[in-house]
Amino acid sequence: MLALLMAAGSASADPLPQWHSLIESGYAKLASETGNLEAKANSYCTAPSQDARSQLSAQWRTAFEAWQAVRFVDFGPVKQNNLAWQFQFWPDPKNLVARKAGQLLKSPATDTSIAQRVSDGGVAVQGFPMVEYLLFDDRLNESDQALPSEPACLLLQAVSSHLHTNSMNLHRQWQTFQPHYLSQDAYRSTSMKAAMTALEILVERRLAEPMGLRGNNKRSIYPSDAWRSGHSLAAVRASVQGLHDYFMPGLALWMDEVDEPALAQRIEDQLSRVLARFDELPNAMAPLLQDESFYQLQGLHVSLSQLQQLLNDEAATTLGVIRGFNSSDGD
């Protein structure tokens, strides 16, 4: 599988063209899926029905997973204008998404003014969590402000449009970024550290904290992402799949350069073992936080920790990549 992915991405033995090409394909998918999300939101609000609502909810999950797959890229165009935060404001310990939504839904707005208010409203308003709130929040859905009310539909359409515009801009800017990325050898380490940081956040924040292994030592679904939609573990799986599809082939080329293909294969094998674990898990994390099924999360956490050790310790040491400070440190 690894050999096929490497061949599909680029014929070059240099990891940078490989990474640029594969990340571009990930951004292209994000742009396409957010376009589908915007279209489904408009269709539902034009002619609301249960079937249209189901299609819209399913498309939110698909588009959100496309974002999760490229979420590890924390450099380049995605750093401009806080784009990563605009896609996903997380974590949200003060429930800002719900508070901001409440303010917007209570204030009369037109389709043009709501678009401006979303654009000016900050990252808690602009991304996937806001759409998730409108679609899946239990308390909202029991109120007279629930979809397909006019205020909720205006907000849904404005945020979906904002997501699609940002996705298209990100894809275009990544293409423009190509000459600079390919000409700077330092982006090898930058790309490697991005994957290391993403894996660390995944293990320590997205899994360990809800499991009560970090922070206040209490099990809680609220520190996870996508808890409202019951899609927390599916989001984690999409991030691991993204590392497999968009990062691993370039890493394998670099490991070949330093004559360490065996270590690359060990990382690939561990990635495959982690992905196989998800086949036995639900999309939601909350049910597994119960005592009788908690061992399944523990097994997943151990497997991901082993992957983290291979990548962040063995591979980084072999390649001379020194991990620096990241935003997950010191919390």
User: Residue 9: is its pLDDT beyond 90?
Assistant: no
pLDDT tens across 230-266, in order? Answer: 999 999 999 999 999 999 999 999 999 999 999 999 9
User: Residue 324: is its pLDDT beyond 90?
Assistant: no
User: Residue 66: is its pLDDT beyond 80?
Assistant: yes
More confident residue, 2 or 322: 322
Which pLDDT value is given to residue 216? 84
pLDDT tens across 166-202, in order? Answer: 999 999 999 999 999 999 999 999 999 999 999 999 9
Which pLDDT value is given to residue 4? 47
Residue range 61-87: mean pLDDT, rounded: 97
Which pLDDT value is given to residue 274? 98
Give dist(CA 62, CA 59) in Å, integer: 5
Which pLDDT value is given to residue 12? 52
Which pLDDT value is given to residue 328? 47
What's the chain's average pLDDT? 93
> What pTM does this model have?
0.94
Which pLDDT value is given to residue 217? 87
Scanning the structure block, which residue is given the tokens 């040491």?
Answer: 317
For residue 119, give both structure tokens. 């654009």
Which pLDDT value is given to residue 13? 87
Which pLDDT value is given to residue 110? 76
Residue range 107-124: mean pLDDT, rounded: 86
Give dist(CA 150, CA 145) in Å, integer: 8
